[in-house]
């Protein structure tokens, strides 16, 4: 049986759906913080565990569990207003995660799969360079630091207990229901707003929800996944300008791009307090998935264009 945390979230829900569709041999236990008004398919067991924290009791949810897929997290927040964001991220992403892992190991869970983030590697790559799974961590914000500390704590627990640890670090994930910057760009395109993003020559990796979920599914049983760190992507890197053009095509929108100099664009965003947005739009972040494809014999099932088309269908296009 597989325990899935964060099963009502963007990635967790898609993973549960995929699991039920692709592998009837596994029963699924879903851990919820509180009751929700939803009917779950047959084969899904639900256990309410309350708020996630360093003292959450997982004993009922972990009964009979052989694999944990841990998707629950305090996700990255662009404009975090917390007085102490690192403390808040650590509470959920580090302390709550390691509490679950310790109890899982004690109760005989064989494999613990942790959905981490490429932010453990860093926020950007230099031109012509890519992040790899074996790079030294270099997180630059509270969210990335919390994910790194969780990874390190999980690996220590694995060494002490023998529970297999699998870590997956995705870059920005997109698909039907996506939020954040991706949703903002879609809304801009749908309104026909001219965008000053026509001259950005960066390179960025993305991963479709379908591809990430397929990789997570592969890591459930693949023997070579044990105690490894894997990066995820669609296998194709594009500039922000190219991405917007492709989005425009699948959304059937006439893209209106202005070739605004990237340095002036970044300065303009900085002046209005949106320097972090400009950084993501203009900087590069490339991911090397050779280790993932080699060890797991895994190839992204769909292309970037196919993933964008599925995203557009989610918006009724």
Which residues are known catalytic residues? Answer: 143
- Looking only at the bridges linking them, the beta strands covering 172-174 and 164-169 are unpaired
> Within 27-96, where are the H helices?
85-89
Q: How far is CA 18 from CA 44, 59, 209, 235, in A?
A: 13, 26, 11, 21
DSSP E strand stretches across 189-303: 204-208, 228-231, 237-238
Number of H helices, E strands in the chain: 11, 10
d(CA 131, CA 293) in angstroms, rounded, equals 15
Instruction: Report the C-alpha gap between 219 and 133 in whole angstroms.
Output: 15
CB environment 89-102: b (16+ within 10 A), e (fewer) = bbbbbbbbbbbbbb
* Best CA proximity match to 36, nearest among 8, 16, 76: 8
Cα 19 from Cα 34, distance rounded (Å): 22
Contact 100, 163 (CB under 8 A): no
CB of 133 closer than 8 Å to CB of 291? yes
SS3 content of the chain, % helix, strand, coil (to 5): 40, 15, 45
């Amino acid at each position: 049986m597989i325990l899935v945390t964060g099963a009502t979230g963007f990635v967790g829900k898609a993973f549960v759906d995929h699991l039920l569709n692709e592998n009837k041999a596994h029963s699924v236990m879903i851990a919820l913080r509180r009751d929700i008004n939803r009917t779950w398919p047959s084969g899904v067991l639900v256990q309410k565990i309350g708020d996630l924290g360093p003292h959450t009791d997982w004993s009922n949810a972990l009964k009979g569990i052989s694999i944990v897929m841990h998707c629950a997290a305090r996700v990255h927040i662009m404009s975090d207003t917390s007085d102490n964001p690192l403390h808040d991220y650590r509470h959920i992403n580090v302390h709550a995660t390691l509490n679950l892992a310790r109890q899982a190991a004690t109760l005989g869970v064989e494999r613990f799969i942790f959905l981490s983030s490429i932010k453990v590697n860093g926020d950007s790559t230099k031109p012509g360079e890519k992040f790899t799974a074996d790079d030294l961590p270099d997180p630059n914000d509270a969210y990335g630091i919390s994910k790194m500390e969780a990874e390190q704590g999980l690996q220590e627990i694995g060494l002490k207990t023998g529970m297999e640890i699998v870590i997956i670090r995705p870059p920005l994930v997109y698909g039907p229901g996506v939020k954040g910057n991706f949703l903002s760009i879609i809304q801009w395109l749908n309104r026909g707003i001219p965008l000053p993003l026509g001259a950005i020559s960066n390179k960025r990796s993305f991963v479709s929800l379908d591809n990430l979920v397929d990789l997570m599914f592969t890591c459930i049983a693949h023997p070579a996944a044990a105690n490894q760190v894997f990066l995820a992507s669609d296998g194709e890197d594009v500039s922000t300008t190219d991405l917007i053009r492709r989005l425009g095509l699948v959304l059937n929108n006439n893209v209106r791009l202005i070739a605004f100099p990237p340095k002036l664009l970044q300065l303009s965003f900085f002046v209005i307090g949106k320097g972090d947005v400009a950084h993501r739009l203009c900087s590069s972040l490339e991911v090397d998935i050779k280790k993932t494809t080699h060890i797991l014999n895994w190839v992204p099932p769909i292309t970037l264009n196919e993933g964008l088309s599925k995203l557009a269908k989610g918006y009724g296009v």
